[in-house]
Structure 1
């Protein structure tokens, strides 16, 4: 049986890599809710209109002949001139026209500043030209109409200061400032909301990518072990008369099953603990085993699959060639004629590249067990200056595909995602992969991996 690199080391290497924040949308900090205003816009319009109406009526009562008609008609006109302020947010120009008319007729002096403020605050951020055109209209409409006023500089200065600067220009500029500030704040809020949505999308994409990688790792590791278990278990019926062979096969199944369970347990542990705890565990030194326990451990204590594995730093399976050779040995013990050929000088490869090469061979052998049992399989490793090529070629199937005992399909069903996962894994380390049928009814998988690992 093969002794692949424990899954926890692969996942711990993921945990220490810088990744996008994998928090879910629900775990992201929520933006604090804005404070509720003292009153709604409609209530503010009602209050302002009421105050202007009261001031206009009060001023008309104090000056009953200030207006174009009788005192009571002037009071009525003063009251009516304040009512359009209720629509100052939606239609500021009509409100401004009524205010200018009231100013010309001397009905009310309080409506015009409010109308120009509304023009600057609600029309200015969208159309500056309209706002300044309204200011020009105010300059013309409120200009003195008597010859004596134009002949006196003092009267002109007083008119310009009071009627234009204080009643028109100052309210318009104040409205422009408030409107522009409101538009800037609205833009900032929109930008913050868009950034928050993008952050949530990035988090969800990171989670989806991590789930896909974990699913691919589980497929690569567990699928191979379980396939070997199924092949050996299916062979038990044919060798049941030989007690020694049956015992060896049962030990192989036991070892493969225990390893599959261990790798699943490690996978679930990583998912429960999260990357932070896994990084802390990876940094902790492994517990020391007593020398007596190492010395007195019997050979084959792992289920009859051979001597106990050496410490991680001493395992020959850490080399790519050694790990692939063990995969070939495990498949050979399951009845698959496999040969391994190495060209060039083997060298140490970066962990992602070595893991990708190992997974390519592992998935290819699993597919041979599923689709071409008994087929002659050749594994070739070619080391060059900057590339390691991994090629797996199998001939036509040596025996019919075994069927499940219940007749529900093949003994080793296929999900159809293995080669797709391999292509993605090879692409992530900067390599290329090709696969397809051969002319003699077999199948080939050829991957080219860079010896320097993925480019940053």
Structure 2
């Protein structure tokens, strides 16, 4: 049984991708709108209080000056969206002496909300503040002490410091927003990589399941279907049952080994995520008992990647595949050209899978067809050719009438092409002119370089 997915990963996509949990952002004390309302209210109260304490400080009557002081604070509600108009009102209020509290807040807003996007505009606003708040009496210009005091209070404290503080806060906010956006982009990329890895893993598991189980189960179905015809012969029935038992045991053994490899491979890929996942999915198997290799001709055990199997291992595995198909009623012949040689384990496995998939397809689509398997060993390549003639009998239907006896998913040759490609070889498949089918594969005699 395949391992179940962690329900926590289903509830949290970040757990499924292996990403660290992001700390919950700290909620601000006030929303931007609430902060604007509080600031405007405080400035309004301060301006009204100052106007009441100095009723004749302004261009009009005392009550009119109080009203102007209150109105001059209201534009601060729009300081985030329109800092320049707010600053213009503040400078006008400062020039009319109706409120001295609006100008610092307006310059802070100019630096915080316009400075990060346009520093030139912020410095132009500072120049305008220098001009608008300059002394208007000749006595102030004639006294250096008065001029320095004016510059310190009216320009540095009311204009320059709030502007620079706002620019710092705005720039810091922009940098933090950029870092957050970059982190979110990296997280999205990691999630896409994890999803691609999961899709690749699912495809690999499907291919392994097909390769390991399909051939043996097909043989079981063929032999089980033949039991009805030989039920009167006790000896043949016993032999057929023994064949079915052997094929079923091999299928279970291969499936168990494959699941073990998948678990080990998942743990290894979790520690070495930078390495490719699908190149050698079964490269860490333990040695198998003698005779178990007949099910897949070398798909099970594998020593270290650089180790090689015996020179005739691939021939023996393919011969056993042919013998199994022959006992199932398929006339199969094997021809070997050149001297058998030791092959890297991935190449040997790919050659075995080519023959296995081809024979399975003959059982499914061309029952009883004469089949010829040829292995040609060259110094640098190994060529495998499987040719079957037209079917000798029609495709049998399932007992329940739900389709053919051996259904086909249509993905076997596609998965086989991918396996051969990973082994560094090429494969072609096409129908023949007499109603048969042909599969030709060329594999490197040396292990392909990464």
- Do the two structures share a fold, i.e. TM-score over 0.5? yes
Q: Contact (CA 8 Å) 1:23, 1:204: kept in 2 or not? A: no
**Partners of 1:381 and 1:271 in 2: CA distance:** 31
Q: Structure 1 residue aligned with 2:401, among 376, 396, 407?
A: 407
**Partners of 2:344 and 2:260 in 1: CA distance:** 25
**Counterpart position of 1:100:** 91
Q: Label 1:39 to 1:408 Cα distance change in 2 as closer, same or farther (>3 A).
A: closer
Look up the SS of the partner of 1:94 in the other structure.
Answer: helix
**Counterpart position of 1:320:** 314
**Counterpart position of 2:440:** 446
Moved more, 313-322 or 115-124: 313-322
**Counterpart position of 1:433:** 427
| Post-superposition offset of 1:397 | 1.6
1:329 aligns with 2:320: no
Moved more, 327-336 or 446-455: 446-455
Q: Contact (CA 8 Å) 1:373, 1:399: kept in 2 or not? A: yes
TM (norm. structure 1) is 0.82
**Counterpart position of 1:255:** 246
1:49 aligns with 2:40: yes
Q: Tell me which of the two structures has the higher relative contact order, counting C-alpha pairs closer than 8 angstroms and 6 or more residues apart.
A: 1
Moved more, 143-152 or 204-213: 143-152
**Counterpart position of 1:215:** 206
| Post-superposition offset of 1:151 | 4.6
**Counterpart position of 1:12:** none
**Counterpart position of 1:356:** 350
Residue-by-residue CA offset, 1:67-96 (whole Å, 9 max, x unaligned): 111222222211221122122112212211
Q: Contact (CA 8 Å) 2:311, 2:340: kept in 1 or not? A: no
**Counterpart position of 1:120:** 111
CA RMSD of aligned residues (A): 3.2
**Counterpart position of 2:277:** none
Q: Structure 1 residue aligned with 2:188, among 197, 206, 209?
A: 197
Q: Contact (CA 8 Å) 1:24, 1:203: kept in 2 or not? A: no
Look up the SS of the partner of 2:196 in the other structure.
Answer: helix
Look up the SS of the partner of 2:26 in the other structure.
Answer: coil
Pairing of 1:157-168 with structure 2 (within 5 A)? 157-168=148-159
Pairing of 1:281-320 with structure 2 (within 5 A)? 319-320=313-314
Q: Contact (CA 8 Å) 1:379, 1:390: kept in 2 or not? A: yes
| Post-superposition offset of 1:318 | 8.8
1:38 aligns with 2:25: no
Residue-by-residue CA offset, 1:285-336 (whole Å, 9 max, x unaligned): 889x9xxxx9xxxxx9x9xx9xxxxx99899799222211111111111111
| Post-superposition offset of 1:249 | 1.0
| Post-superposition offset of 1:276 | 3.4
**Partners of 2:93 and 2:438 in 1: CA distance:** 92
**Partners of 1:235 and 1:449 in 2: CA distance:** 36
| Post-superposition offset of 1:420 | 0.9
Pairing of 1:171-250 with structure 2 (within 5 A)? 171-250=162-241
**Counterpart position of 1:370:** 364
Q: Contact (CA 8 Å) 2:425, 2:443: kept in 1 or not? A: yes
Q: Contact (CA 8 Å) 2:351, 2:384: kept in 1 or not? A: yes
Look up the SS of the partner of 1:137 in the other structure.
Answer: helix
**Counterpart position of 1:140:** 131
Moved more, 426-435 or 397-406: 397-406
Moved more, 360-369 or 206-215: 206-215
For this pair of structures, how many residues does the alignment match?
Answer: 416
**Partners of 1:146 and 1:343 in 2: CA distance:** 112
Q: Label 1:23 to 1:321 Cα distance change in 2 as closer, same or farther (>3 A).
A: farther
Q: Label 1:315 to 1:272 Cα distance change in 2 as closer, same or farther (>3 A).
A: closer
Where does the alignment leave 5 or more consecutive residues of structure 2 unmatched? 3-12, 271-282, 296-300
**Partners of 1:385 and 1:73 in 2: CA distance:** 105
Look up the SS of the partner of 1:25 in the other structure.
Answer: helix
**Partners of 1:284 and 1:237 in 2: CA distance:** 39
**Partners of 1:421 and 1:201 in 2: CA distance:** 23
Q: Label 1:284 to 1:102 Cα distance change in 2 as closer, same or farther (>3 A).
A: same
Q: Label 1:24 to 1:152 Cα distance change in 2 as closer, same or farther (>3 A).
A: closer
| Post-superposition offset of 1:403 | 2.4
Q: Contact (CA 8 Å) 1:228, 1:256: kept in 2 or not? A: yes
Q: Contact (CA 8 Å) 1:339, 1:378: kept in 2 or not? A: yes
| Post-superposition offset of 1:216 | 0.7
**Counterpart position of 1:3:** none
**Partners of 1:429 and 1:251 in 2: CA distance:** 35
**Counterpart position of 1:76:** 67
| Post-superposition offset of 1:150 | 4.1
Q: Contact (CA 8 Å) 1:337, 1:374: kept in 2 or not? A: yes
